Structure 1
Amino acid sequence: MLPWLAVLAALGLPAGGVSSWDKTQIKQLSQGLQHLYGNISRLIERGKLGPADFFTTVSRKDWGAEGAGCSSQLPKPLEVLVIHHVPGLECHNRMVCSQRLRDLQAYHIHENSGCDVAYNMLVGEDGRVYEGVGWNVQGSHTQGYNNISLGIAFFGTKEGHSPGPAALSSMKGLVSYAVQKGHLSSRYTQPLLVKSENCLVPPQKAKPKKVCPHIISRSAWGAREAHCPQLTLPAKYVLILHTAGRTCNKPFLVGQDGGAYEGVGWKVQGSHTAGYNDIALGISFMGTFTGTPPNSAALEAAQDLIQCAVAKGHLTPNYL
């Protein structure tokens, strides 16, 4: 078994926390974690690691779940993976995370008229994996995808923050385990990505085309003055959303005409995704796409924007 504390010690994490770290130390930790993820993935592929070697699972019984009320079965293997981030349930140990999860289940059942907690599996900020409705039962996490996808959610993160290293490591191991055990296809995709690309594995080679598409500026579409904080660049993540029929404050908006409309711009924080606004670029399709994807022109424009962001240094080449 690989204790998480041993991993952190090997990477040089001080016992007192990270408040005194400089940028060099943070970069070294990030590189160390990437190396760790790669090693774990290779060992999993070779069948030398089981689930207990890279994450700890807390069963429904152990976190105190109410009786399961969902019964619709999922096919195997699933072709689609959906990863959510549930804000506002801060926890850092098993006892508190279990209570937060019981609260979430009660909310989904009693307030949202669901049959159970909405997700198949959940990853706590404590680094543990909590069983939701399980691998084989249909969740209610994403309208239009529940019957064809595996839904996994991060929870327990402090409001305004992204998941920590322990949670990220467990998520990586959990997805690899799902593929290894046949719950998820090795060629799985995530919704609204061009040409079935896997957003956890960024393209190794940029498409041979012009660096950036034509972007319709704020002044051209008549934007009002913005008062938003600066974004930390280069961003580590790209969040792809849709406006569901409303105009939203996203860094970039993509229309069905294939046009890219400047939102708050490359260097300014949007308000698109709690916990990621300071480290992620947000690209939003204008319209509602819960059942069908945007058209090819819009999808192509979004992919061009991502490649443009990498080329201009606004987005790291190994983005998620």
Structure 2
Amino acid sequence: MAIVRVFTVIFLVIATVSQSRMAVADCDAVPIEKWGGSPLNRSKDLEKPVRIAVIQHTVTPECTADAECEEAVRKIREMQTKHGFDDIAQSFVIGGNGKVYEGAGWKVGAHTLRWNDKSVSISFIGDFRDKLPTPQALKAAQDFLACSVNNKNLDEKYHLVGHLQLSATLSPGATLQSHIETWPHWLSDISGIDRLLTLYLRWSVYFTKFDWCELKCIMILVFFIALGLVQWSRVEAECDVVSKKKWDGLNPIHVEYLPRPVDLVIIQHSVTAGCSTDAACEELVRNIQDYHMDQLKFWDIGMSFMVGGNGKVYEGSGWLRVGAHTYGYNRRSIGISFLGNYNNDEPKPEQLEAVKNLIKCGVEKGHLSPDYHLVGHKQLISTESPGRKLYREIRTWPHFLEDASSITTGS
């Protein structure tokens, strides 16, 4: 019987070790020992199943052949360790050959500040601001995500986000970001999750001082209930903005993403007829988009947001995308346009309140910096916008910057 017990223990140990390695092998990832020549120098495990997958790009030369891709990953590892990282920062890296390379794997990596211990990253080798990875690479990423769900490493209800949604970066590149927004599990607004995760982590650290298991369990339960409510309540998450889909807008021809949080808000007017009903405002916004895209050859409607005389805010290029509202400043600002001409007309109280609420919500959601600057359009370029009467009003608002000469362009 003693011999049987010994063999049983040995079998269980072997099975456990094999299972941990098969978690990678089952998803066709090339182990780090195979491409890197040495074991991973990271020891802290991610808590599984992981709930967030972050898509990135490496901004290094692309690769298509196996030997070329292995060399590319080795160079990434060498560069990161030379710069003080314990080991390779990304969880997994994908080459143009369609192969997934194990990096930090299901250990805590160093790919996204504040999110490393609660997310897994998938980084495409190359620069994808203006083009997509190879079809093989895109398929490998989707297959890997599906396999990771089957292996219980990734939660079946995981959230997929681009790197730029969590950090001030252009990764994974505008073209790749637009593509992953069509994938299952993509999450457009991470701000609610960010706040709740932060709250949960702070509470859990506090309560580890006590041996109150029941209280911890209740806290975790409340956290996930609240997380569900955040996802269910989309009106609050969207800052009461009428979406482009709702006003029947066209999709952009091309997109470029803003670094976040944005620290400059520009107030404008559209110098068109005003509108006071939902139907009239939606038609006006559609007409503006048609003019911008058909006549001016813009990628999309130029303004970030527009506000009608009905007191509703309409989505333009939105919080995340670069607009075309203020030449020289589009890549660092949000442009909010009042529909109408406010050289002679007074803006309506409901319009003013709607824009104030939009800006407040933008700060709360992390789209705007808490110490943002607010300026009138004419302070930056040669124009009468936002009109004499609207300009007089915004000069009384918090964060208004009287001298805009210190604001640098962002092209």
TM-score (norm 1): 0.49
Look at both structures and tell me which one has the larger radius of gyration over its CA atoms: 2
Higher helix share: 2
TM-score (structure 2 length as normaliser): 0.40
Pick 1 or 2: higher relative contact order, CA cutoff 8 A, min separation 6: 1
